[in-house]
Structures are given as structure tokens and as C-alpha cells.
Copies of this chain bind each other. A is one copy, B any other.
């Protein structure tokens, strides 16, 4: 893993030093269990423990030995046993096999790494909740398919982000269930000379329960959901990051990634403020997806085990944790210092030309219009037509739209011309429809002149009634449209 994305805690957990110390813990726990059941005297345990604690594992010696005998656990044992007097040696690793020593250590490394993830996750959730509360009444356009949809508050978007993250976190927590178990069951998992009580006691000391049904190793299907949920979490972060990138696009920005005072956005273009942190999240997700694939493939082995899984676990687990923790940290930083532009949020609502209430407007026409012979389908089509009309450009802009320059010089001219245009006027369907003078747009909607005339007549009738106008205008009030949102704040963040 590139040092930029490394988390110090995760690195320590998966370090050789930590792993060997955890192996030593297993060995000591098993000797303690033997003592507990009278298979060795207490002195055996205390002597060994004392000697080992006074002689830290020599990693250099270990590595050289490992290279020679091609078996890391044996190299570890040799390194440890060499410090013991001969009479104590036979108590070490008695009856048990390499993966009896390694499995509790491996499970511990997973547990500890998940704890780091959880701690970073909490920070992100806190930031998001803070933002959700802060922007509880700051209104904005929701978007589906990238298009203006209905109104929502900015806080509500955080609520949906929180929801997805919480679900990823829930899945991660669920995925830990099987980390309560481990095994000290001998070479093929049926105990051999190991009294099952010994396993139980030793695992208890290490904080685990025995898992029936292991072979030489714990079945790797147990750990697959951990990778799946970590990957899911990173993909969710990427999804949130993508939303931020979308809202931060030049044009009408509703938010911006933090940009530091010394930061440079581009080596060529000094004005750039790029969304580099959120874009990186997509790269993180790509890696996480690849790592998940490797872990899923790791489920399979031959018979009572082969060692295909080992190199993958040395590499991919720490990398997946680094990627996850890094993503959480970056995202927390982004959310914490993100810039929000409520003025632009209002600008978008304004420029949506009242479409933010199109669903309600449609239901209004369907209800009010039915007595004048309007079908449900027609109610729908009237709003659609009004929306298209409201979005038609003014004639000058339409002229430019329909002029294709045939040289760069012509392009220069057209641009100069554009710069002199007066501002665009925004008309909303809120005003447009009560005027009852819709006209057909034969290229855009299959509605004939006659049909549109009929619609105008009905509209005239509907809006002749002042009460209807009043009702109609209420439909376009943000506070009306958002009246039910409070329940979401309450359910999701208790606000």
C-alpha cells in the first residue's frame, strides 16, 4: 500500500512484530490451559512466560530461519524454544499445529482492525449528523437522473448519506459474529491428542469460543462478509463523494470540497479548485472491489486445507483496511470543512421554473380537472407541456442555439454577441399554467393544437375560482412541500 493511504494503526496490527507476539499469546494460553488441567505444573507456564517476556522475539533471526526452513511458524517456534532449557521445550506447541497458533492471532488482527474502522466511522457519522442538523431548513433541489426533481433540505441529503453508511456499519458489525470463534483442534481439526477441554480453556484465555467444523484452518467463508461489508462501506463513501463532486461542478455550485489556503489546483490553470479528495474515493472503491474479489476466491481450498489463502491474506486484508480507513478519514475531512452555498441552492430552485412542485401540480389538475372532463393522462400531459414551454429559450438565445459557426472567427463573433445579451427571464409553471395560454410544441410533445386549446379552456375554468388559485399557490411553498420531512430527521438522527 502506498504510504499516502496507510493508516499507522492498521499497519501496526498487521506488522510481523504484532503477529508473532500474538502467536506467542496463543502458545502461552495453551500452556496455561495444560496447567489448568494438570497436564503441566504451574512452574512450566511461569518459567516460559518469564523467559519469553524477557527476550523479545528477534525478527532478524526469525526471518533468516524462515528463509532456510520455509515455514514461518516453525521458524517462530525455533526462535522461541531456543531460549528455553531443554526440559521446558517439550511443553511448547505440544500436540497442536501451526494454524492452531495462527488462527486466534488472525482473528484478533481482524477484530483490532475493525475497531480502527469503527472509530473512524464514528467520526464521520458525527460530522454528517452535525451537518444534517445545521442544514435542516436549507432548501435545495433534489435530483433524480441528474435532473431537478422535488424540493428537499440539504440536511435531508445528509440523512440519506448517513442511512447508507449506517447500513454499511451494521453489516460490518454483523459480519463480526463469527470472530467470536477460533480453533485449537490439531492438524486436521479432529483434536488428535488434544483434549477438547484444553482448546476451550486456551481459547477462553484468548477471548474466543471453540468452532466445531474447522479443518486445519477455520473455514474462510466465515471472513468473507467482513470483506464484503468493508467494500460496501467504501463504495457507499464513493457514492457520497460522487454526490459532492456533482454538486461541486462549475456552473451552479451548491457545495465545494475544502480547499486550503496554500493549495494548488492545477500546474497549468491557477484558478482551478478541483474535487481531488472526493474523486480519490472512486479510486478507493475500485481497489476495494478488487480486494473483495480476492477474498471471495479465498473461500475455496482443498480438503483439510491447502495454503492458497495465505499470501492473499498477508496482502489483501491490510490493504483493504488501509483503503477503508483512509476513505473514512478523507471523507470526514471533506465533510468537516465542506463549503455550502445556500444562495446557489435557491438559484437552482428558482431556475427549476416551478418544476419542484410538478407532482403536486399534476395531482391538483387531476383532481380539479376531472369534473371538467380532464383525464388523469391529460393532467399529466398539461404539466409536461407547461414544463417544456417554461424551458424554451428566448428568441435571441434560440437564434444562437440554432447558429452553427463555420470557422473559429465566427465562433469569436458569436461569443461576443452572447456576452451582450440581457439576462434570461425565468418563468415558472406556477404563473404559466393559470394564464391558460399554453401552445403546442409539435416537435417535443405529441399534443395537437386542438387538444391544447381544450386544455386551456379547462385551465381557464379551474383558475377562474380564487380558491383554486390560492390552493395552487400553496403547492409551490417550500414549507408546504417539506411538511413531512421532519419525521425523517427524527427517525434517522433523533433530531
Contacts and interface: CB of A to CB of B under 8 A. Distances in A.
A479 B408 contact: yes
A92 B376 contact: yes
Contact of A342 (B87, B225, B403): B403
A178 interface: yes
A167 interface: yes
Contacts of A134: 404
Contacts of A193: 359-360, 363
A359 B192 contact: yes
Interface stretch (A49-57, A263-271, A462-470): A263-271
A348 B258 CA distance: 23
A146 B290 contact: no
Interface stretch (A30-38, A65-73, A119-127): A65-73
Interface string A391-408: 001000110110111111
A143 interface: yes
Nearest to A156: B190
Nearest to A102: B267
A342 B401 CA distance: 5
A309 interface: yes
Given A92-B376, A250-B146, A484-B195, A160 B141 contact: no
A492 to B, nearest CB: 5
A178 B284 CA distance: 26
Interface in A113-171: 134-135, 137-139, 141-150, 152-153, 156-157, 159-160, 162-164, 166-168, 171
15 contacts: A145-B265, A146-B302, A147-B249, A152-B190, A159-B213, A167-B219, A187-B269, A190-B484, A192-B484, A279-B306, A282-B308, A283-B311, A289-B290, A289-B293, A347-B418
A232 B69 contact: no
Contacts of A138: 404-405, 411
Contact of A292 (B296, B376, B406, B477): B296
Contacts of A410: 137
A453 interface: no
Nearest to A261: B446
B343 A214 contact: no
Given A163-B214, A289-B293, 13 more contacts: A74-B267, A160-B213, A160-B214, A160-B215, A163-B212, A174-B174, A186-B359, A250-B352, A289-B297, A290-B291, A315-B319, A346-B415, A350-B419
B406 A137 contact: yes
A393 B343 contact: yes
Nearest to A73: B267
A437 B178 CA distance: 49
A478 B411 contact: yes
A380 B346 contact: no
Interface secondary structure of A, over-half rule: helix
A211 to B, nearest CB: 8
Copies of this chain, tallied across the complex: 4
B144 A305 contact: yes
Contacts of A242: 300, 302
A140 to B, nearest CB: 10
Interface string A227-268: 011011001101100110110111110000001111111111
B407 A150 contact: no
B262 A350 contact: no
A261 B302 contact: no
A204 B349 CA distance: 35
A154 to B, nearest CB: 10
Contacts of A482: 190, 408, 411
Contact of A147 (B273, B346, B408, B445): B273
Interface string A4-41: 11000000000000000000000000000000000000
Contacts of A194: 484
B270 A376 contact: no
A178 to B, nearest CB: 7
Contact of A404 (B69, B135, B143, B289): B135
